[in-house]
């Protein structure tokens, strides 16, 4: 909850041929529903008969988009949007997306979720031919590759299909050329991407909750490897890259996605409840109360309670008004940030043996604080259950689990972690159970961060800011 | 949740004789925990050896207080803070509190929660002696009365005690004179007010959750009618106005207060669970799933589930990023604001008979939309249970239930309301059950808005902006 | 220019019976023209059939008023506005005007320029009857006195006339009752106030330049002691307090007012040119070039050049983009603020004997820096001529020359000042010549700050923050 | 003054090897002095041992840079800065400079003043090899060309020198590689660029007024065609492109530059006075008063007055508080924007025959309004003298005089213009006199916008947004 994993992006696109809806405004609403996928920056680009204007900045949707900005973006017949979490610290507004670029065939805008594993090679190769880069985004690499392919390809969609021969890794892309809206998902399908319909208008979104928010109907998921092109009111699908073994990121179900989304056929909420139930089977305990750590531990806690028969209850109140940061005092003691955001419900937990369900343990410090909140509130015992296996490996496909040294599970045994966080017992989801989380899913999974088994070749280690080089004379 | 009742204020005060804590910063953190009591404006006043400086403005805590402002307020040995909801529309920054005033004995600052029933008379009377008013707050009336009393009283605390002879209605006050911090609660104890301790420092707060947030220990509730004075490290209590029949607002338990607060001896969370259980007894139904409308229906839903045996589950996902307002499109259809903020969890409710628990129905439109969300998500039946009796009467003591014509329960029978909101059945908490909500409370209750039985004489009807007069020549 | 004197206010009022103009917008434009009279805060209050709404804040006009705010204030048939400079440091937004108050007869708004000499006594007296004060403005005292008088007076204008028996000192007031717009000027006429017409609409303003800005025609000055009432399209004058010896602040001509304003019959620009010419007669010198320190020394420099025959030229370029403050470096040397805002024109002054004309010397530090700029730019000699006599006495009537200890002329002889600022010679305007500055003025002058002869009894010394008391228990 | 010409940029760079100054802060101060060269956007990039961070945004210096931002940029040993005016309307924050780019050899930052004549060809050519562009700046083209040249060049400075073989047109560049600060000026020297020294630190700036502002000493102008490299405390000059015929933009003297700057050996102020004197010789008139239109007509008015013997005086007061835009009323008549910003000084001009000197006439509407201000203020005659020849041709080298259809002088004779603006007579500077403006300048001039004779081949016509293409499918 506080030193959590971060998804790097959410994308959205809408094609409104008949002007019945304002593309920018629909995108604005949809991005609210995708905000959980990225809170650092956001942006919208609108296509009005080939002229693309955009607004993007650091901040949440309501910070970046006010009435004046939305009016400025009003009109046109297509828009794409993006929310982004990035790992590179303070002030990199330049990295906000959508990326708008002019190339030989006009202007295109691109929004991207995922990480390439060969971005560094591609980038170096491009630089050796004289390319310059103004961001540290993989998206800029993708744009370059597409632009290169476009030189020979007969159309923008063919350029995208060609580019996919070169791009390795995770990418769910929404792209807008002067006349077309295109969605593409990498052949592994690491990141979700779906298509919906609202009247005659076509939309693409990272998650179905964005469709719900604007009243669109779910049509289908974009297949791993598929390219979908919308133009002149027609929707075409190119499946040349389809058919390989897919590997949706399993952590989308466990943590990243919103519980009300349905990804590749499986409900996120149900997957989490199943995780809780599987935990209860593997790690039963005698206790009086099951509580979830808000917000992402709630669903699994319900599953644990159902399976174990230990009643579910509220264990915490989360303060909805404290933002990502609050101001620490300049004098006197530092303030416990967990305490400001979370309070244990002593009237519910006092004197009880409590099962506390959370989605993951990253560094352990936050878990320790939350356990301690329960004890201070009078809990007699605290049994921690984690609805995912221990993180032991970096992620190369678009989350920031990229360094082994900060992961507590790389340094300690489960027993040691249990003592470190001050729990009476600790149980993780068994890696073997991962396969059982999403029985309805039409795809296979990437479980690399838990198992070290990646669905494609990966680099040795990813440095945080791989493009922040500083050599030369 | 969307056309909800509003509490008009939260107050906080801290006395730090030894400089171990920064008063402004502690107040800032505490106000975060009280933000649910008022989201329109907020303010902090700091007392540095008799010089009082303050910052107050329209907006939430993080909007009004940034690092620069908090540094500016840093220092001193006392501070008071206030969060406010008001009913008077757009731009009345002048009404933000604390009120800082200079009078014959120096400067005092005052923060107030509640409503006087005789404010209009007092104000008219003062104006007849030449007084001018710069706000439409009752607090300005209270300040005047205290200032008048101070002319004859030997000390500020005696002036407060004298003023209480004149002030009728609801007031929980925190007040700062050059050297003293004073807390006072009206003889009925309509609004909560408690005292805590953090090291040698004394704090007062509307709710105990504010004590938890800053790591303070709960000492005791301020008694109805009590005046507590802190100065020179001593805490004194004046109880001349104590001993009458108290009448804490019952809606503090049902809706206003935070579930993790304990008011006058009773846990808010437990009171709500009891409300749910009482509902289940009075209005049983055959169903498959009990869900609560976030956030205030959750606790009662758990109580309903426990009592009825119908399993509790998640029914909705609330979007945490959509603020109080979002921008409506300038073209195309209006957006359903409930849909943007709330999504039904179809994987949980599809095909189910659902009991939906909420805290109240005001106008009915929001309830209708939420019922409809469940049906669109596939719920087979929707049985609405409300953890309070129908609102039929205005409140004169500090909430904005002040006009009968908007209250659906004044115009319709329960059956009609049930049809209007599209539910399969509808059950309200029985007014007789109100007494059973808080068996541990050391006080009696005001249930006027439900029963029409007020604990003191009240005016005929309160106009919204009673001080916005416009006569004269 | 940098450690300058400050006028404390500018006022404006407009009465638009027929809705042909938007009162708030006209006030906004007029305040731009009066901004030189006050840059700390500003405000506009609009009267729409008795309902008064207002916006006021710290900052310049374009910082406080944007399109949204002006639209919010749009409508109504009267408005008043205010710009303010204050002497009390950082964050006193509460002191911004117009003051809007509710009293026995409804709501009135008041904007005030000047200082009372008996504010402290009046305030103490009011506090002894229980009054509370929320600002440290004299305006709040004036409002109270008028409210008191209104209890017995048959109309608001009679209350104003009665109040003038009690108020001592400088006040040019514009006041708005539910139905009337009233302008009043103290019997001495310390501060300017004039009336204009634009179509059928009546306006009042501190200076005629505000009339020019909105295209209004000058009608006449308000007489010292006069009260003008506009209502129902009629303009009435009450002259009960007229007829005494007037004493317009002579420094309005020398520094405060805009050169394009005409005050009480005399052009400010011409008065300054005359000051330059009088200086040239009293303090001739052999030199090659006359330059003025921008902006307020320019007019007098032209007068000096005309009279002396020493050619006028540009000596400095002022940076128009550097605001009141710029950010000092956190490391390395402090930056010379004069240098950032002003550059000497070396191509014009190199090798020349220069006469440098400025309006005043306050502490001397700024003058020293400007002299040094000229020398660094190559000036052979620098002869400083000041178009006012030395400041030797505090002002009690609305400027901040209120403390003798900072005034260089109280501590040093002219010769010493000349050496301190590094000039080759220094000449001040002779106090006897003050009478010759404005031969066309229909009034007499207050020259107290130069001569110590005040037109009324004054207190011994004014403390800066006279109302910031901090006693009591 | 209101529909004026716009310079497109100002640049600055500083190299502080010993940390005695904060590079970002010095740049901040210097940009204030260059703000007149661009008010749309600005930016600073700082180099801290090869890591380049930057801040750039739409707005003036004080709008973009506050204390927090400057602290963030604090440190390092080099910085470059940029102010920009652009012609492309509202929201193009992406075009703000410095441009920071990563290329094969690390990160470089670049700030550029001027316009390439072959930007379109270069851009098309680059796009044909797959390049993408994220701005519509020439600077991005320059960066690409340098990056391409760097592939073969042994050093960044050699890459710049090579790039200059390809770049055609106007460019004064300041560029920062990880270890070097480089300044380059195109072989024609269209735009100014100079070098200064402050202690051991080297600075480059568009104008000398920026050196004065930070207390730096002028060293010399960068020669047309010169590349200056600063690294390891050494300053090296590469003059391979020097020696051709130079062509400094003559309009730098007439309008763009600040009067206190000295460009290529000639004082801007003196050049303007000479323009005024030359006007007086060519277009004498019988009159009583010479006035300049603030601010850019003042110097030439002094020259006219000196030569003609007609006394110089103040004719206008400019409102220093009205920014680039003010809010027009939503109801009622439109406001005359000239009137809000400028007031004629009736006490000076009434009854006089006035010579009004201004720097140029673009569309004529503003001139007409200013003439009318003088007449309304009582001027008997108004003789307009323009200190430049009529604009008849577009500029291809960095100003926005790029379209003939808006230029009044392309459509009308001088007599017609005279009647259009309502003057009694009108005289322009003779194009032949242009050569006499700057006798001390070490360079020749481009007078293309007046004479149509350009110093190099130019395209037929430049479309406003030449890179805003919108073809493709």
Q: Answer yes or no: do B33 and A319 touch at CB < 8 A.
A: yes
Same-domain check for residues A188 and A314: no
Assess B177–A contact: CB distance below 8 Å, yes or no.
no
Residue bearing the bigger pLDDT, A424 or D467: A424
Assess A334–B contact: CB distance below 8 Å, yes or no.
no
Looking at every residue in chain C, the average pLDDT score rounds to 90
Q: Tell me the DSSP string of D344-364.
A: E-HHHHTT-EEEEEES--SSS
Q: Answer yes or no: do A339 and B302 touch at CB < 8 A.
A: no
Cβ-nearest to B156 among C53, C102, C473? C473
8 Å CB contact between C360 and C255: yes
Same-domain check for residues C314 and C352: yes
8 Å CB contact between A46 and A98: no
**Residue B79, CA distances (Å) to A391, B61, B182, C133 in order:** 46, 16, 11, 20
Q: Answer yes or no: do C134 and B468 touch at CB < 8 A.
A: no
Identify the closest residue of chain C to D345 by CA–CA distance.
Answer: C260
Same-domain check for residues B174 and B279: no
A320: left (phi over 0), alpha (psi -120 to 50) or beta: alpha
Q: Which two tokens stand for residue B10?
A: 């939260």
Q: Answer yes or no: do D319 and C213 touch at CB < 8 A.
A: yes
Q: What angle do CA D447, D453, D459 make, to 5 degrees?
A: 110
Q: How many CB atoms lie within 10 A of CB D419?
A: 12
Residue B258 lies in a domain: no
Q: How many CB pairs under 8 A join A and B?
A: 165
Contacts of A216 in chain B (CB under 8 A): none
The residue behind tokens 């060519």 is D282
Instruction: Return the CATH number at A282.
Output: 3.40.50.2020
Identify the closest residue of chain D to C311 by CA–CA distance.
Answer: D306
Preceding amide of B98 cis, omega within 30? yes
Probe site for chain D from C36, C260, C300, C373 (most D CB atoms < 10 A): C260
Of the listed ranges A97-101, A191-195, D259-263, D272-276, the least confidently predicted one is: A97-101
Q: Answer yes or no: do B178 and C471 touch at CB < 8 A.
A: yes
Give the residue from D234, C35, B346 showing the smallest Cα distance to A262.
Answer: B346
Give the residue from D160, D121, D116 showing the smallest Cα distance to D138.
Answer: D116
Q: Which two tokens stand for residue D182?
A: 């480089």
Q: Which two tokens stand for residue C67?
A: 């399109």
DSSP H/E element including B270: helix B268-282
pLDDT digits (tens, 9 = 90+) for A38-54: 988 999 999 998 889 99
Q: What angle do CA A417, A419, A421 make, to 5 degrees?
A: 70
Same-domain check for residues D305 and D216: no
Q: Is the pLDDT of residue D362 over 90?
A: no
Query: Which backbone phi and psi does A63 adopt, to 5 degrees?
Result: -85, -35
Q: Is the pLDDT of residue B465 over 50?
A: no
Residue B232 lies in a domain: yes
Of the listed ranges A428-432, D11-15, D401-405, the least confidently predicted one is: D401-405
Residue A256 lies in a domain: no
Assess D468–A contact: CB distance below 8 Å, yes or no.
yes
Assess B262–A contact: CB distance below 8 Å, yes or no.
yes
As a whole number of angstroms, the distance between CA B231 and CA D319 comes to 54
Average of per-residue pLDDT across B100-118: 93
As a whole number of angstroms, the distance between CA B416 and CA A163 comes to 62
Contacts of D107 in chain A (CB under 8 A): 469-470, 472
Cβ-nearest to C473 among B53, B72, B177? B177
C42 is in an annotated binding site: no
Residue bearing the bigger pLDDT, B88 or C302: C302
As a whole number of angstroms, the distance between CA C63 and CA D391 comes to 37
Average of per-residue pLDDT across A311-320: 95
Q: What is the CA radius of gyration of chain D?
A: 23
Q: How far is D142 from chain C (nearest CA, A)?
A: 30
Q: Is the pLDDT of residue C81 over 90?
A: yes
Give the residue from B206, B208, B187, B188 showing the smallest Cα distance to B198.
Answer: B208
pLDDT digits (tens, 9 = 90+) for B137-173: 889 999 999 999 999 999 999 999 999 999 999 999 9
Name the B residues in 73-102 with CB < 8 Å from any C CB.
90-91, 94, 99-102
C410 is in an annotated binding site: no
The pLDDT-based confidence of B399 (bands split at 50, 70, 90) is confident
Q: What is the CA radius of gyration of chain A?
A: 23
Write down the pTM of the prediction: 0.90
Same-domain check for residues D239 and D303: no
Cβ-nearest to B28 among A311, A323, A327? A327
Q: Tell me the DSSP string of C294-358.
A: TTTTHHHHHHHHHHH-PPB---EEE-SS--S--PPPSSSPPP-HHHHHEEE-HHHHTT-EEEEEE
Same-domain check for residues A354 and A278: yes
The pLDDT-based confidence of C7 (bands split at 50, 70, 90) is low
Q: Answer yes or no: do B329 and A61 touch at CB < 8 A.
A: no
The residue behind tokens 């961060």 is A449
Q: Is the pLDDT of residue A123 over 60?
A: yes
Residue A14 lies in a domain: yes
Q: Tell me the DSSP string of B52-66.
A: EEEEEEES-HHHH--
Residue B4 lies in a domain: no
Q: Answer yes or no: do B327 and A65 touch at CB < 8 A.
A: yes
Same-domain check for residues C33 and C167: yes
Residue bearing the bigger pLDDT, B161 or D399: B161
Specify binding-site residues of D for [4Fe-4S] cluster. Answer: 249, 395, 446, 449
Average of per-residue pLDDT across D41-68: 91
Q: Is the pLDDT of residue C40 over 90?
A: no
As a whole number of angstroms, the distance between CA A342 and CA A287 comes to 22
Probe site for chain D from C258, C343, C374 (most D CB atoms < 10 A): C343
Residue C333 lies in a domain: no
Residue bearing the bigger pLDDT, C69 or A349: A349
Contacts of A327 in chain B (CB under 8 A): 25, 28, 65-67, 70
pLDDT value at position A323? 75
Average of per-residue pLDDT across C99-126: 93
Query: Which backbone phi and psi does A251 adopt, to 5 degrees?
Result: -70, -15
As a whole number of angstroms, the distance between CA C71 and CA C25 comes to 9
Assess A324–B contact: CB distance below 8 Å, yes or no.
no
Average of per-residue pLDDT across D96-122: 92
From the number of C-beta atoms within 10 Å of its C-beta (0-12, 13-18, 19+), residue D331 rates as exposed
Share of chain B above pLDDT 90, in %: 74
Q: Which two tokens stand for residue C384?
A: 């400083």
pLDDT value at position C330? 65
Average of per-residue pLDDT across B97-109: 93
8 Å CB contact between D187 and D225: yes
Work out how many domains chain C is built from and give that number.
2
pLDDT value at position A232? 87
Share of chain D above pLDDT 70, in %: 91
As a whole number of angstroms, the distance between CA B235 and CA B232 comes to 9
As a whole number of angstroms, the distance between CA C113 and CA C80 comes to 13
Q: Is the pLDDT of residue B365 over 50?
A: yes
Share of chain A above pLDDT 70, in %: 91
Give the residue from D431, D426, D405 showing the smallest Cα distance to D415.
Answer: D426
C331: left (phi over 0), alpha (psi -120 to 50) or beta: beta
**Residue C99, CA distances (Å) to A419, C21, C42, C187 in order:** 63, 23, 11, 23
Same-domain check for residues D131 and D203: yes
Cβ-nearest to B132 among C94, C102, C128? C102
SS3 B330: coil
Q: Which residues of A form the catalytic set?
A: 9
Give the residue from A235, A202, A234 showing the smallest Cα distance to A12.
Answer: A202
C16 is in an annotated binding site: no
Query: Which backbone phi and psi does A36 adopt, to 5 degrees?
Result: -60, -20
pLDDT value at position D333? 61
B249 is in an annotated binding site: yes
Average of per-residue pLDDT across C221-233: 95
B296 is in an annotated binding site: yes
Q: Tell me the DSSP string of C363-376.
A: SSHHHHHHHHHHHH
Probe site for chain C from B24, B131, B157 (most C CB atoms < 10 A): B131
Residue bearing the bigger pLDDT, D284 or C5: D284
Q: How many residues does chain D have?
A: 473
Residue bearing the bigger pLDDT, B7 or D184: D184
Q: Answer yes or no: do B99 and C134 touch at CB < 8 A.
A: yes
Q: Which two tokens stand for residue D451?
A: 């004479």
From the number of C-beta atoms within 10 Å of its C-beta (0-12, 13-18, 19+), residue B465 rates as middle
> H helices of C87-164, where?
119-128, 138-150, 156-163
Same-domain check for residues D94 and D215: yes
Q: Which two tokens stand for residue B345?
A: 């969890």
Assess C1–D contact: CB distance below 8 Å, yes or no.
no
Instruction: Give strand ranges (E) for D227-322.
Output: 227-231, 234-238, 248-249, 262-263, 266-267, 289-292, 316-318
Probe site for chain D from A65, A125, A126, A130 (most D CB atoms < 10 A): A130
Residue B120 lies in a domain: yes
Cα of D231 vs its chain's centroid, Å: 28
Instruction: Return the CATH number at D93.
Output: 3.60.20.10
As a whole number of angstroms, the distance between CA B275 and CA B38 comes to 24
Q: Is the pLDDT of residue C375 over 80?
A: yes
Assess B107–C contact: CB distance below 8 Å, yes or no.
yes
Share of chain A above pLDDT 90, in %: 74
pLDDT value at position A330? 65
As a whole number of angstroms, the distance between CA D169 and CA B278 comes to 84
pLDDT value at position B331? 59
Cα of C398 vs its chain's centroid, Å: 8
pLDDT value at position B407? 79
Contacts of D104 in chain A (CB under 8 A): 124, 127-128, 130
pLDDT value at position A465? 44
Same-domain check for residues B269 and B173: no
Same-domain check for residues D32 and D71: yes
pLDDT digits (tens, 9 = 90+) for B193-237: 999 999 999 999 999 999 999 999 999 999 999 999 999 879 999
The pLDDT-based confidence of C385 (bands split at 50, 70, 90) is very high
**A216, A247, A278 — which closes off a domain?**
A247
Q: How many residues does chain C have?
A: 473
SS3 C58: strand
Name the C residues in 46-75 with CB < 8 Å from any B CB.
49-51, 53, 55, 72
Assess C173–D contact: CB distance below 8 Å, yes or no.
no
pLDDT value at position A7? 55
Q: Answer yes or no: do B143 and C132 touch at CB < 8 A.
A: yes
Same-domain check for residues C309 and C242: no
Residue B206 domain boundaries: 9-246
8 Å CB contact between D147 and D104: yes
As a whole number of angstroms, the distance between CA B81 and CA B28 comes to 8
Q: What is the CA radius of gyration of chain C?
A: 23
Of the listed ranges B73-87, C37-51, D5-19, the least confidently predicted one is: D5-19
Highest-confidence range of A135-139, B90-94, B411-415, by mean pLDDT?
B411-415
Preceding amide of C295 cis, omega within 30? yes
The residue behind tokens 């199943």 is A274
Looking at every residue in chain D, the average pLDDT score rounds to 90
pLDDT value at position D367? 94
Q: Answer yes or no: do D470 and A155 touch at CB < 8 A.
A: no
As a whole number of angstroms, the distance between CA D183 and CA D229 comes to 7
Identify the closest residue of chain B to A332 by CA–CA distance.
Answer: B21
Side-chain-facing half-sphere of A289: CA atoms under 13 Å? 25
Q: Is the pLDDT of residue A88 over 80?
A: no
pLDDT value at position B249? 96
The pLDDT-based confidence of A269 (bands split at 50, 70, 90) is very high
Residue C145 lies in a domain: yes
pLDDT digits (tens, 9 = 90+) for A214-265: 999 999 999 999 999 999 879 999 999 999 999 999 999 999 999 999 999 9
Q: Is the pLDDT of residue D185 over 50?
A: yes
Q: Answer yes or no: do D132 and A155 touch at CB < 8 A.
A: no
Contacts of C334 in chain D (CB under 8 A): none
Q: How many CB pairs under 8 A join A and D?
A: 140
CB-based contacts of C427, cutoff 8 Å, min separation 6: C279, C282, C283, C285, C383, C384, C385, C386
Looking at every residue in chain B, the average pLDDT score rounds to 90
pLDDT digits (tens, 9 = 90+) for B436-455: 999 999 999 999 999 999 99
Q: Which residues of C form the catalytic set?
A: 9
Of the listed ranges B230-244, C64-78, D410-424, the least confidently predicted one is: C64-78
8 Å CB contact between B262 and B268: yes
Give the residue from B394, B11, B387, B395 showing the smallest Cα distance to B192.
Answer: B11
Q: How far is B204 from chain A (nearest CA, A)?
A: 18
pLDDT value at position D8? 74
Assess B304–A contact: CB distance below 8 Å, yes or no.
no
Assess C323–D contact: CB distance below 8 Å, yes or no.
yes
Q: Is the pLDDT of residue D325 over 90?
A: no
């Amino acid at each position: 909850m506080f030193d959590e994993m971060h998804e790097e992006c959410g994308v959205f696109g809408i094609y409104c041929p008949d002007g019945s809806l304002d593309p920018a405004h629909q995108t604005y609403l949809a991005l609210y529903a995708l905000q959980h996928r990225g809170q650092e920056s956001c942006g919208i680009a609108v296509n009005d008969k080939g002229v693309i204007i955009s607004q993007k900045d650091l901040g949440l949707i309501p910070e970046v988009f006010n009435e004046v900005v939305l009016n400025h973006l009003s009109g046109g017949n297509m828009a794409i949007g993006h929310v982004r979490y990035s790992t590179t610290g303070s002030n990199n507004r330049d990295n906000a997306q959508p990326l708008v670029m002019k190339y030989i065939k006009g202007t295109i805008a691109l929004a991207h979720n995922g990480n390439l594993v060969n971005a560094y090679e591609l980038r170096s190769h491009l630089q050796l031919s004289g390319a310059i880069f103004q961001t540290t985004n993989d998206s800029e690499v993708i744009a370059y590759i597409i632009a290169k392919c476009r030189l020979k390809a007969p159309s923008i969609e063919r350029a995208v299909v060609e580019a996919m021969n070169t791009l390795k890794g995770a990418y769910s892309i929404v792209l807008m050329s002067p006349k077309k809206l295109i969605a593409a998902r990498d052949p592994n399908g690491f990141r979700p991407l779906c298509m919906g319909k609202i009247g005659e208008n076509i939309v693409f979104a990272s998650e179905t909750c964005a469709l719900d928010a604007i009243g669109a109907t779910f049509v289908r998921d974009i297949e791993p490897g598929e390219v979908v092109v919308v133009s002149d009111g027609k929707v075409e699908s190119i499946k040349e890259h389809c058919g390989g073994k897919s590997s949706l990121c399993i952590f989308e179900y466990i943590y990243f996605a919103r519980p009300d989304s349905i990804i590749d056929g499986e409900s996120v909420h149900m997957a989490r409840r199943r995780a809780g139930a599987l935990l209860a089977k593997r790690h039963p305990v005698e206790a009086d109360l099951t509580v979830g750590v808000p917000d992402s531990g709630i669903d699994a806690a319900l599953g644990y309670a159902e399976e174990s028969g230990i009643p579910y209850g509220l264990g915490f109140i989360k303060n909805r008004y404290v933002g990502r940061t609050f101001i620490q005092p300049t004098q006197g003691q530092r303030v416990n940030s967990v305490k400001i955001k979370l309070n244990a419900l002593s009237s519910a937990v006092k004197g009880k043996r409590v099962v506390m369900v959370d989605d993951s343990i990253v560094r352990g410090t936050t878990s320790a604080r939350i356990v301690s909140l329960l004890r201070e509130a009078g809990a007699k015992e605290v049994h921690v259950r984690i609805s995912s296996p221990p993180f032991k490996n970096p992620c190369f496909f678009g989350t920031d689990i990229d360094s082994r040294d900060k992961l507590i599970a790389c340094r300690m045994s489960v027993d040691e972690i249990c003592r470190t966080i001050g729990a009476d017992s600790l149980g993780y989801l068994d890696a073997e159970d991962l396969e059982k989380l999403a029985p309805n899913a039409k795809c296979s999974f990437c479980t690399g961060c838990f198992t070290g088994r990646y669905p494609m070749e990966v680099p040795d280690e990813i440095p945080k800011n791989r493009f922040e080089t500083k050599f030369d004379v």
